[in-house]
Amino acid sequence: MTGFWPAGHQSAAAFTFDVDAESAVLWGAPENARRMSVMSHQAYGPLVGVPRILSLLADHGITATFFVPGFTAERYPQVVREIVAAGHEIGHHGYLHEQPSAQSRDEQIAALDRGLDVLAEIAGVRPVGYRAPMWDLSWELPELLLERGFLYDSSLMDADRPYELAVAGTPSSSATSGAQAASSLVEIPIQWALDDWEQYCYLPDISGAGYIATPEQARALWEAEFDGLHEVGGCWVLTNHPFLSGRPARAASLGRLMARIVATPGVWVAPLREIAEHTRSLGLEPRSVQPI
Ligand SMILES: [Zn+2]
């Protein structure tokens, strides 16, 4: 793995936040809108969690990536503008947190384009990164992302560090010189152990079994994954949701984790866009992943 990361670094780490808010419990279940308490649980993210997390990131000098569904941007435009104003990256996360693998191709196109339009209109950004809601990428989406000029996706789980994902329907990288930029997406892998949903989320009849981990348990898991990935020169990507990790004790614990990672020699802490741009600069041969 020597030579993969920028000089002086043996691994990379990224803090990412999925600002799902209400959208995560509305897509496929619009009746949840009737449940005021459930809506309030989700609203905590943009209302309280995001400002606290922005402050935490500033304290530790970290630039992060926030994946924002279009519906969240419409409902909390000022919050999304504050994320942008603080210098963080905004990524695409669907319009209403649609699960791509459960949608037709046309439905996926509609969600993708509507999300892009809203982020442009409200936050003035054109994201280069995409994360599939529920980390449930469809086989069609990579091509749709490439057609829209996306540089990277962060939804797959088959590697310890970023790679070039060959996209079906586009010219192979060897067909013409310079074609790689148009025939592959950078994939920045994630994994379930590095998500706060399984640790913290409990919504009766919607998600979770009622077991809620302590912040120390969650941090111990994330630190163990960090140690493992750092050792093998991998890319540690933590995914947190402001409605979960924005609560005071959890945010304080997250701050301790940030301090430890920033202080670890040889770790490149960067937003996903920078990690994707660096990966693209390596000129890797795209990996073809065949549908089952
Ligand atoms: Zn999400």
CA distance 21 to 97: 10
Name the β-bridge partners of 239: 16, 195
At a CB cut-off of 8 Å and minimum separation 6, what does 40 contact? none
What is the residue extent of each domain of the chain?
11-281
CA 97 to ligand 1 centroid distance, Å: 6
State which H helix or E strand residue 71 sits in.
helix 70-75
Domain 11-281 has CATH 2.60.40.1190: no
Ion ligand 1 neighbours (CB, 5 A) are 18, 20, 133
pLDDT for 290 equals 87
Paired tokens of 47: 């209302």
> How many angstroms is it from 167 CA to the middle of ligand 1?
23
| 163 Cα: distance to centroid of ligand 1 (angstroms) | 22
Each residue's pLDDT tens digit, 238-266 = 999 999 999 999 999 999 999 999 999 99
The pTM (predicted TM-score) of the whole model is 0.95
Structure-block tokens of residue 70 = 């279009």
Distance from the CA of 122 to the center of ligand 1, in angstroms? 19
- Would you say 182 and 170 are in contact if contact means Cβ atoms under 8 Å apart? yes
Distance 266 CA to ligand 1 centre (A): 30
> Residue 243 in contact with residue 205, Cβ under 8 Å?
no
Q: What pairs with residue 30 in β-bridges?
A: none
Find the 52 Cα to ligand 1 centroid distance in Å: 19
Residue appearing with tokens 């797959």: 156
Looking at residue 56, what is its pLDDT? 98
Calculate how far, in angstroms, residue 130's C-alpha sits from the geometric centre of ligand 1.
Answer: 11
Residue 2 has a pLDDT of: 58
What integer pLDDT is reported at residue 292 of this predicted model?
Answer: 86
**pLDDT tens figures, 105-132:** 999 999 999 999 999 999 999 999 999 9
User: What residue ranges of the chain have pLDDT lower than 70?
Assistant: 1-2, 170-182
Q: How far is the CA of 23 from the centre of ligand 1 (A)?
A: 8
pLDDT at position 28: 92
DSSP three-state, residue 275: helix
In the 8-state DSSP scheme, what is residue 102? G
